Chain A
Amino acid sequence: MIRVSIVGGSGYVGGELLRILLKHPHVEVRQVTSERLAGQWFHRAHPHLRGLSDLRFVPMEKLEACDVLVLALPHGRAMRSIDRWARLADRIIDCSADFRLRDPTVYERWYGTPHRAPAWLDRFVYGLPELNREAIRNARYVSGVGCNAVATILAVWPLVRAGLVDSGRGIIAEVKAGSSEAGRQAGPASHHPERSRSIRSYAPVGHRHTAEVQMALGLEAVHLSMTAVETVRGVLATCHVFSKRPVTERDLWRAYREAYAGEPFVRIVHERTGLYRHPDPKVLVGSNYADVGWALDEQTGRIVAFGAIDNLMKGAAGNAVQCLNLMCGFDERAGLDAPGLYPV
């Protein structure tokens, strides 16, 4: 068993980390921090976890050494104290955006503030196993992933890998996201009368995850448009790509199969009939699976690539545990083998 502590455990990602790690066969959860709820049971923040642990939240100042520290803090917080976290654990997984991008100038451009620990950026590996498995396996420090970025990257990666993308025209991704993406802090936009039944274009251009997709795919022409929809969990990326050569359905089957052969958490969903012929995040709630698929317009060469995930799982906590499993030499599926709930 390895000793894992979570910094920032009262948010939604912290709750998902706890839900997975309290049942993980090779992990002992040692400490979970929350300044606001220090001394309180976990179920004060995460009611579904009632009775699953005798531990209570502790303040950060009480953190002790452990084997792996998982940081689930708001963006901008992890980098302020990274030296301190590194003294507490040999391995760190940071779920925030602080260490995803390699270039501090790119970070500043998208996040509007200088990076506080630029010397650490090269020490972190971008934590998406489907693209970076071997590097993660050998890493001590792994970054989290952006949920919208993951849905987009996994949808389009097979096309990029197969050399099909017309890079001049690039990728246009319309991403629909549920309300839990916004985190636990309430604001005017999350107020129920405003949020409920809304289909809100909240970032038609300029979303921060654009930089992550560009970096991961090695493509400059990436355009994300974000729409908030009614669901609580779930991301669906609908990505429009133009092929630079004539392409058939069989070509696309080959591209997706070759990209994801043996991947434990990526499933190809592309059927001719039925309600769920394309990926739908509805059936992924609570699971670490990413469903990918496509539709092809052979007349125009337009490929519509889909990526669906649960934003709190494959888009955050589940993916972080997948990285932890790789870093610690465990079965990559450990603690993560539950399918989604259906119906929900």
Chain B
Amino acid sequence: MTAVCPECEGPIRLAEDLMEGEIIPCGDCGAELEVLSVTPLKLGLAPEVQEDWGE
């Protein structure tokens, strides 16, 4: 099963046993994507934790 990243439009390969709420990283842009719905398949950006770069 494949999908398109809603952030960068890159291809994403998905497991057959995908579950709602699962977090999937996009291999191209690194976005953390949340499975909002399996049928129909809907992916959205997962809430981000702000990184602390110590700067």
Contact = CB atoms under 8 A, between A and B. Distances in A.
Does chain A bind chain B? Answer: yes
Contacts of B10: 253
A254 to B, nearest CB: 7
A272 B28 contact: no
Nearest to A275: B53
B55 interface: no
Task: Identify which of A249, A268, A270, A272 gathers the most chain B CB atoms within 10 Å of its CB.
Answer: A272
A271 B31 CA distance: 7
Interface in B1-44: 7-10, 28-32
A274 B31 CA distance: 11
Interface residues of B, number: 11
Contact of A250 (B8, B31, B51): B8
Contacts of A249: 7-8
A273 interface: yes
A250 B32 CA distance: 16
Nearest to B30: A271
Interface string A309-332: 000000000000000000000000
A277 interface: yes
Contacts of B29: 253, 270-272
Nearest to A277: B30
Given A249-B7, A253-B9, A268 B48 contact: no
Given A273-B48, A273-B51, A268 B9 contact: no
Contacts of A270: 8, 28-29
B29 to A, nearest CB: 6
A249 B29 CA distance: 11
A181 B31 CA distance: 36
Given A272-B29, A272-B30, A254 B48 contact: no
A250 B9 contact: yes
Contacts of B30: 271-274, 277
A253 to B, nearest CB: 5
A254 B5 CA distance: 13
A270 B48 CA distance: 17
B9 A254 contact: yes
Contacts of A268: 28
Contacts of A274: 30
A272 B26 CA distance: 10
Given A270-B28, A270-B29, 18 more contacts: A249-B8, A250-B8, A250-B9, A253-B10, A253-B28, A253-B29, A254-B9, A268-B28, A270-B8, A271-B30, A272-B29, A272-B30, A272-B31, A272-B48, A273-B30, A273-B32, A273-B51, A274-B30
25 contacts: A249-B7, A249-B8, A250-B8, A250-B9, A253-B8, A253-B9, A253-B10, A253-B28, A253-B29, A268-B28, A270-B28, A270-B29, A271-B29, A271-B30, A271-B31, A272-B7, A272-B29, A272-B30, A272-B31, A272-B48, A273-B30, A273-B32, A273-B48, A273-B51, A277-B30
Interface of A: 249-250, 253-254, 268, 270-274, 277
